[in-house]
């Protein structure tokens, strides 16, 4: 991966990190009315590009019709509050078509 491109941050030393990711995952499930079996991935990305926040939270989820949706919150997971999530009525606009390439997830 080229220097300066967003990278996943897999290892965290903060014991509350997993709790923050779980909290965002559950808020996403509730906000978009996703079933318990729905796949939801919450991760933090680091970015060194000018103008990029140092850490951002990326959320990806799949609906029952196997459609992928995603959004970013431009702050670390520990700082995310429920009001940072997109409104439920924006769910269709978060859809990512098959084959759509992005460097975030």
pLDDT given for residue 5 in this prediction: 44
pLDDT of residue 81 exceeding 90: yes
The predicted model gives 25-33 an average pLDDT of 98
Confidence of residue 2 (pLDDT cuts 50, 70, 90): very low
CB atoms within 10 A of CB 100: 9
Q: What is the pTM of this model?
A: 0.80
| Mean pLDDT rounded to a whole number for the chain | 85
Residue 9 CA neighbour count, 13 Å, CB half: 21
């Amino acid at each position: 991966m080229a220097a300066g491109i967003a990278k996943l941050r897999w290892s965290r030393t903060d014991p509350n990190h997993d709790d923050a990711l779980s909290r965002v995952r559950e808020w996403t499930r509730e906000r978009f009315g996703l079933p318990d079996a729905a796949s939801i991935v919450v991760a933090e990305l680091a970015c060194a590009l000018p103008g990029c926040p140092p850490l951002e939270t990326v959320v990806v989820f799949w609906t029952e019709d196997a459609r992928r949706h995603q959004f970013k919150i431009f702050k670390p997971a520990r700082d995310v509050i429920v009001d940072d999530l997109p409104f439920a009525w924006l769910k269709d606009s978060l859809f990512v078509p098959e084959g759509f390439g992005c460097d975030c997830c």
